[in-house]
Amino acid sequence: MKKTFFRFAVVGTALILVLAISGCTKKPEQAKNVEVTMFQLKVEIKDAIDAYAASYSAAHPGVTVKVESLGGGGDYGGALKAKAQAGQMPDIIQIEGLGGYKIWQEYIADLSNQPWVKDTDLALKVDGKVVGFPVAIEGYGLAYNAEILAKAGIDPASLTTRAAYEKALSTLNAKKKELGINAPVAMAASVAGGMWWVAAQHNLACYWGGGLAFDDTSIIEKALKGELDDARFQQYAKYLQLLFKYADQNILLNGSYDDQVGSFAQGKTAFLHQGNWVDPNLQQLGVSFKIGYAPHAFLDTEEKGLYLFAPSWYCVNAKSPNAEAAKAFLASMAGTQEGHDYMVNKAGMIPAFKSVTLKPAGQLSQALMAANARGGNYGVFFGMLPDGAGQNLFGPIFDLFAQNQNDLPRFINDMKKAVADLPKM
Amino acid sequence: MKRSTLVNILFLAPCVFAFIMNIIIPFGFGLYYSMTDWNGVKTSANFVGMRNFAGLFSSPDFIYSFLITIFYTAINIVLVNAVSFALSLIVTSKFRFRNFLRAGFFIPYLIGGIVLGYIWQFILNNAIVAIGNSLSIGFLKSSLLGKPNTVIWIMSLVNTWQYSGYIMLIYVAAIQGIPASLMEAAEVDGAGYFSRTFKILVPMMANAFTISLFLTLTTSFKQFDMNFTLTNGGPATRFMDTPIKASQLLAMNIFNTATANRMAEAQAKAVVLFVALVLVALFQVAYNKKKEVEL
């Protein structure tokens, strides 16, 4: 009996060892075929980028580009951390600013010598080094439904000061029935709807950069030291209060992205506080009316610019053996006709490269391109804030102000306290 | 004898191995990382002692999350158990459709928390508001999820809707385990329905209460998925003169801290959640055990 048992034990151990060893030995990799993996967070361009990667792989024997997309509601940062911990760090990753750079800097390659660097103003630079490939230009103002404004007798070109907005919004509000709208503005500020970023990130960006030179970061740098510019913030808060007051209250306090964009697309609101990324949504919803962008003019003085920025950048994993192939893939995206066609026509983005001559189809994207050509636009700097500041610190403050719209001093006071806490974050 | 020890050890080994690798080691790592400044990516982590813990109990959002989680757990324990006990009484009576009802009450439990959260969000934000508007019922005209004072109650109601079918099954099993002779004897002796229920049924199924209270306590304390999809922590409210999220339970607070790349701080919060949960659960089980009757 004892013998039988030991035989079992020996055979068992041997089996485990064999399994363990065979698990460890890898097949020798074929040196010729390089597989570049890319992990990106714009789910809305998934099909376009998959198709482009496939055609690039077909045109370049020996290189296969594989793209994985996770974003929207998905936790891209968490998934990327899991990949890094598992030793499966992708060759190309996407970051959303300096905050992301600080986290991933051990991995991020220097791209200063790439051919596309001269062709763009929006590459991500750290200490004079180029580290990020701008994915696109995005931007926003206050989108308007030109038909409703025309019916109400409002000239969108006149909307360049807060006073002009006040007049236009109260006119629209008075003619609500006649125009068939629920409220003048589709604005969202709710934590519950996951829309804190519209108010606490994009609208607040007006305070950080509005009315200043495109690369003037003085206001946000002051905030990072814990100070608010009182006179300027007072004007900004009044503008925000105006938008809140004339917004569809259900959308403002509880609406989702779909509620907000949907109400504008159905002509139930005259203004929409969103960027050019809503173009595909508006197209899907069958919008046929003319749309344009008015500036977020919150100052007492005149403002005419829109807010333009590169929302994210591709970075190459410096530790990967495939880094060169990854760089070549990005360079071809920026430098070839196929790449331009992918970015503009397939993915519907506005490329950040000056050599691109194609025009995007979306009305808001066209408005942005026109503004970009005209100049005098403002920078968007919320990416310089510490991680989580928008969602956890400013988000609840804006939500609470939306609930208590008349309490302006309280809002200003809350923001003052929150900004004072910024250096500690 | 000797051989059977060896056999025992060998049979246990896979389990112990899995337990150590999946529970003990990650737990140790978790404790360690809660005392570092690790951000989730860096290859090195600096030891910072108790710094992450020290800040927690002076930050309004964490204190609020902690208190609101305890409050949510308390109403949940009462609501879920009261409802599921009532349901179990209905489906063990001589009611005609009892088997159909048993299945029906259990079905919400089979819907995942994520899906369920979105469904109820739609009902509360759109359907009920539409009803409120068309019937001109004032307090239903804006979403119940948008009011800081009601949102926790709404969450608890949704949780009760989901979870009471499951707890009901535990109660049903316990009721069926009670000898019918006992109930019949009481009936013959002239005990009414209520005295039979509360003087015989309830004491006899005390062990079912122990397990049900434990389950509702721990699941409510760790509630995340439904919280995430139904309210996302919103709306905002004011606590200690700071705007914070009114329905951000502890698990979601940890999640939001982690997604803001403050991994070590999130880990410290998770350790606090663990300790609190263990203490409360131990106390609850010890208390309930005393009430159990041996048959």
Contact of A189 with A395, CB cutoff 8 Å: no
Where residue B42 falls among pLDDT bands split at 50, 70, 90? confident
Q: Write down the pLDDT at residue A305.
A: 92
Q: Contacts of residue A253 in chain B, CB cutoff 8 Å?
A: 142-143, 146, 235
Q: What angle do CA A221, A224, A227 make, to 5 degrees?
A: 90
Domains of chain A and CATH, by start: 34-136+310-363 (3.40.190.10), 142-305+386-424 (3.40.190.10)
DSSP letter at A325 equals H
Q: Contacts of residue B243 in chain A, CB cutoff 8 Å?
A: 396-397, 399-400, 414
Q: Do A103 and B261 touch (CB under 8 A)?
A: yes
Q: Is residue B192 included in any domain, yes or no? A: yes
Q: Distance (Å, rounded) from C-alpha B34 to C-alpha B265?
A: 6
Contact of B29 with B40, CB cutoff 8 Å: no
Identity of the residue in B7, B39, B236 whose CB atom sits nearest the CB atom of A400 = B236
Residue ranges making up the domain that contains B211: 54-291
Q: Is residue B282 included in any domain, yes or no? A: yes
B158 token code pair? 């949704």
Which runs of E-coded beta strand occur in A189-340? 269-272, 291-294, 307-309, 313-316
Q: Do A191 and B125 touch (CB under 8 A)?
A: no
Q: Do A193 and B232 touch (CB under 8 A)?
A: yes
Mean pLDDT, range B263-269, rounded to an integer: 93
Count of domains observed in chain B: 1
CA distance B110 to chain A (A): 23
Contacts of A73 (CB under 8 A, 6+ apart): A194
Q: Is residue B199 included in any domain, yes or no? A: yes
pLDDT in tens, A71-128: 766 788 889 989 998 889 999 999 988 888 888 988 999 999 999 998 888 889 888 8
Q: Write down the pLDDT at residue B293.
A: 66
Q: Distance (Å, rounded) from C-alpha A264 to C-alpha A266?
A: 5
Q: Distance (Å, rounded) from C-alpha A92 to C-alpha A42?
A: 14
Q: Write down the pLDDT at residue B94.
A: 83
CA distance B24 to chain A (A): 19
B92 token code pair? 């063990």
Contact of A121 with A308, CB cutoff 8 Å: no
Burial A78-112 (b: 16+ CB within 10 A, else e): bebbebbeeeebbbbbbbbbbbbbebbbebbbebe
A interface test, pick of B125, B224, B269 with most A CB neighbours within 10 Å: B125
Q: Contacts of residue A97 in chain B, CB cutoff 8 Å?
A: none
Q: Check whether B295 has a pLDDT greater than 60.
A: no
B171 CB neighbour count, 10 Å cutoff: 25
Q: Contacts of residue B256 in chain A, CB cutoff 8 Å?
A: 388, 391-392
Q: Do A399 and B236 touch (CB under 8 A)?
A: yes
A115, A301, A349, B170 from A342: Cα distances, Å: 19, 41, 9, 58
Q: Do A78 and B259 touch (CB under 8 A)?
A: yes
- State which amino acid sits at residue A145: N
Identity of the residue in B40, B244, B260 whose CB atom sits nearest the CB atom of A391 = B260
Q: Contacts of residue B39 in chain A, CB cutoff 8 Å?
A: 103
Q: Write down the pLDDT at residue A30.
A: 45
Contact of A92 with A316, CB cutoff 8 Å: yes
Q: Do A2 and B3 touch (CB under 8 A)?
A: yes
pLDDT in tens, B170-228: 999 999 999 889 888 998 998 888 888 888 889 889 999 999 999 999 999 999 999 99
pLDDT over 90, % of chain B: 60
> 3-state class of B242 per DSSP?
strand
Identity of the residue in B10, B42, B244 whose CB atom sits nearest the CB atom of A396 = B244
Which A residues, 226 through 285, put their C-beta within 8 Å of a C-beta on chain B? 249-250, 253-255
Establish if A192 touches chain B: CB-CB under 8 angstroms: yes
Between B22 and A12, whose confidence is greater?
B22
Instruction: List chain A residues with pLDDT less than 70.
Output: 1-32, 72-73
Q: Contacts of residue B146 in chain A, CB cutoff 8 Å?
A: 190, 192, 253-254, 403
Chain B, nearest residue to A9 by Cα:
B10
Q: Is residue B166 included in any domain, yes or no? A: yes
Q: Is residue B45 included in any domain, yes or no? A: no
Q: Which residue has the tokens 């005098």?
A: A376
The CATH number covering residue B134 comes to 1.10.3720.10
Q: Write down the pLDDT at residue A29.
A: 45
Contacts of A213 (CB under 8 A, 6+ apart): none
Find the radius of gyration of the CA atoms of chain B. Answer: 24
Q: Distance (Å, rounded) from C-alpha B142 to C-alpha B144?
A: 6
Q: Write down the pLDDT at residue A133.
A: 94
Identity of the residue in B10, B41, B235 whose CB atom sits nearest the CB atom of A84 = B41
